[in-house]
Amino acid sequence: MSNEDFSLSKSKLGTKEYWNDFYKLEQTNFQSNSEDTGECWFDESDAENRMIDFLVSNFQELPTINEDSKIIDLGTGNGHLLFELYQHEDEVYVNNRLIGLDYSENSVNFAKDIAKSKNLDNILFYQVDFLTKYKEFWGNEIFQNVDVFLDKGTLDAIALNDAKYPFEDGKSYLGYELYPRIIEKSIKQEGIILITSCNFSEEELEKVILENSTRLKVWKKIKYPSFQFGGVKGSAICSIAFIKE
């Protein structure tokens, strides 16, 4: 599988430098205006609310879910998804187990500032680059035995970078090929990862995850409004939950 399979081109949106600059500016804006908490990605598709509704509706079907369940947002950005999810704490058992990860230090600092302003010190944020430091990621208990991983656009950004990363099997992989291999090991058995993408179709997203993991399987999908063009029916966005068997 290669980037050409999905017609993805290298972009500045796939670089850490871009996101460090982006979130530094957003943090500066927030310091000037505490009402400005930054961008809500995929807001036009109502993806965030649909992801939360999906979790609320399906949590009871997940065998691993209990009061100690761990939910990690990959590529958390400004932490908006976690802050919104926290509003449903009684429905999704979040308690003290909401965690946001990002490889951008400025993203994490910004999210921490927002959390502090909301008095949400029980939502934790960490700067982690799991593609380049996967052994450290695996070795940290905080990031292991995860019940639910969330991804809203992070795999999209990873796929816009054509760098290859060495892995424990001696091979090197593009970021989106390595991502499932790393995350799969951190998910608890019968836990899920819910991925929302605007760069991949449902078919492409399934291919990326299933061909680069051994135990992740399609569990459920979120429905979005569809359109038809040139006789082909599709959607501008997709969300798929993969379960670890």
Confidence band (pLDDT; 50, 70, 90) for 231? Answer: low
Q: Long-range contacts: 19-25, Cβ < 8 Å, 24+? A: 19/102, 19/103, 19/104, 19/106, 19/107, 19/157, 20/104, 20/105, 20/106, 20/107, 21/106, 22/104, 22/106, 23/77, 23/78, 23/104, 23/106, 23/107, 23/109, 23/110, 24/106
Domain ranges of the chain: 8-225+233-244
Average pLDDT (153-171) is: 94
CATH number of 8-225+233-244: 3.40.50.150
pLDDT of residue 36: 64
- Taking Cα atoms as reference points, which of 152, 160, 113, 108 lies closest to residue 129? 108
Q: What's phi and psi for 234, nearest 5 deg? A: -165, -170
- Count of CB atoms situated within 10 Å of the CB of 154: 23
Q: Cα–Cα distance between 229 and 141 in angstroms, integer? A: 47
Residue-wise pLDDT tens digits, 86-109: 988 777 666 658 999 999 999 999
- Compute the mean pLDDT over every residue in the chain, rounded to the nearest whole number: 87
Which is more confidently placed, 141 or 68? 141
Residue by residue, DSSP assigns 220-235 as EEE----EEETTEEE-
Burial of residue 141 (number of CB atoms within 10 Å: 0-12, 13-18, 19+): exposed
Q: pLDDT at residue 7 above 50?
A: no
